[in-house]
Amino acid sequence: MDNSKDLFDVTVIGSGPAGLYGVFYARLRGMKAKILDALPELGGQLVTLYPEKYIYDVAGFPKVLAKDLARNLVEQALSLGPTVCLGAKVTTLKSREENSQRIFELVTDDGSSHLTKSVVLTAGIGAFQPKRLDVPGVIDFEGRGIHYFVNEKKIFRDKEILIVGGGDSAVDWALNLSDTAKRITLIHRRDQFRAHEESVKELLSSQVEVNTFHELKAVRGNSTVEEAVIFDNRTGAERALRVDAVIINLGFRADLGPIKEWGLEIDRGGIKVNYRMETSVVGIFAAGDIASHPGKLKLISTGFGEVATAVNFAKNLVDPGSKVFPGHSSDMQSMPSTAIGR
């Protein structure tokens, strides 16, 4: 049970892949660690947006369902007993000096205060909303055949589906649902995709009907979606498709929310960090999709490396006598007693 009056060595904000691995790594280094998340369960977007989507870019897994990856990350994160506080959205950050040491106070939307010597931000892209299309019928049929996420594949069983988009989500769902849906059509406004090359190659050789240079013009139906009108953006030629569902995968509009008021330097919609994953405020680190630096790759796999870097430098900050790099875990004869006993 969380005692918000306790002082922690590090508090991780966000329980997606980077956050879960980060709090595990912090405990591995013997830090008194807490993880906070506004969501009611651990796992972040893996469980809230696409639990049945395959992930292909995590080392050690040729492919893995998002919900399975989340389950393993949660098991790993909880194995060393961090403090977990869910349903707690951090709204305010304050800091003060005590005995020549900076203490951060994180205030959540329920009025609770959480004290910590360092902070690691792993809040993904912050608060987000799916990008919508200003197309007749789209808003009207949201929840009645218009989808932005796929939480359960079974609701698309034997359905005729139109997928709109050309990124990883659109391509991956076209492939993932091919064994569930009756028919899948994918449209993209260009002939160049933003998805992984191997996935695009598989898509183009699949049974999915792919229409490039096509866009959505209208969605029609009665109580639910029954028809979608698409058009060729080169010629204007239109075509009506019989569909039961339209999945719109055009990305998200991200909003850092209250984090924008914390005095951190913002860069390209994220939090600017250096090679140590330090932000412009000493004691606050960022990793994963929320972190911005030159050459940034927004992949789960890079988030793991970034958060390990952030935690190691946070450890050295709160315990200057410690090494930044403690050695490899495989070098240890047994799990450090500090990780178990704190």
Q: What are 74-111's pLDDT values in tens digits?
A: 999 999 999 999 999 999 999 999 888 899 999 999 89
Q: Are strands 54-55 and 64-65 parallel, antiparallel or unpaired?
A: antiparallel
Instruction: Work out the pLDDT band at 127, boundaries 50, 70, 90.
Output: low
- Look at residue 61 in the predicted model and tell me its pLDDT: 93
Percent of the chain topping pLDDT 90 = 77
Instruction: Work out the pLDDT band at 338, boundaries 50, 70, 90.
Output: very low
CA atoms within 13 Å, Cβ hemisphere of 228: 26
Is there a common fold for 7-128+253-341 and 132-250? Answer: yes
Instruction: Work out the pLDDT band at 342, boundaries 50, 70, 90.
Output: very low
- Look at residue 98 in the predicted model and tell me its pLDDT: 86
Mapped onto helix, strand or coil, the DSSP state of residue 49 is coil
- Look at residue 331 in the predicted model and tell me its pLDDT: 67
Asked if pLDDT for residue 56 goes beyond 60, the answer is yes
Average pLDDT over residues 62-80: 96
Q: What are 178-233's pLDDT values in tens digits?
A: 999 999 999 999 999 999 999 999 999 999 999 999 999 999 999 999 999 999 99
- Look at residue 190 in the predicted model and tell me its pLDDT: 96
**What DSSP string describes 59-86?**
TT-SSEEHHHHHHHHHHHHHTT--EEEE
Among 223, 310, 228, residue whose Cα is nearest residue 273:
310
Q: Which two tokens stand for residue 12?
A: 């991780």
pTM score, whole prediction = 0.81
| Residue 26 Cα distances to 39, 80, 120, 312, angstroms | 21, 10, 10, 8
Describe the strand order of the beta sheet including 119-121 as a list of residue ranges: 83-86, 33-37, 10-13, 119-121, 284-286
In the predicted model, what is the mean pLDDT of the chain? 91
Average pLDDT over residues 29-33: 97
| Dist. CA 117–CA 319, nearest whole Å | 10
Opening angle at CA 197, ends 196 and 203, nearest 5:
95
Q: Which CATH architecture has domain 132-250?
A: 3-Layer(bba) Sandwich (3.50)
- Look at residue 104 in the predicted model and tell me its pLDDT: 97
Instruction: Work out the pLDDT band at 120, boundaries 50, 70, 90.
Output: very high
- For the chain, what is the largest distance between any 2 Cα atoms, rounded to a whole number of angstroms? 72
Would you say how long the chain is, in residues?
Answer: 342
* Residue 189 DSSP code: S
- Look at residue 317 in the predicted model and tell me its pLDDT: 96
Least confident window among 140-154, 292-306, 320-334: 320-334
Q: Which CATH architecture has domain 7-128+253-341?
A: 3-Layer(bba) Sandwich (3.50)
- Look at residue 340 in the predicted model and tell me its pLDDT: 44
* Domain layout of the chain by residue ranges: 7-128+253-341, 132-250
DSSP H/E element including 181: none
Asked if pLDDT for residue 157 goes beyond 90, the answer is yes
Average pLDDT over residues 135-156: 94
Average pLDDT over residues 4-26: 94
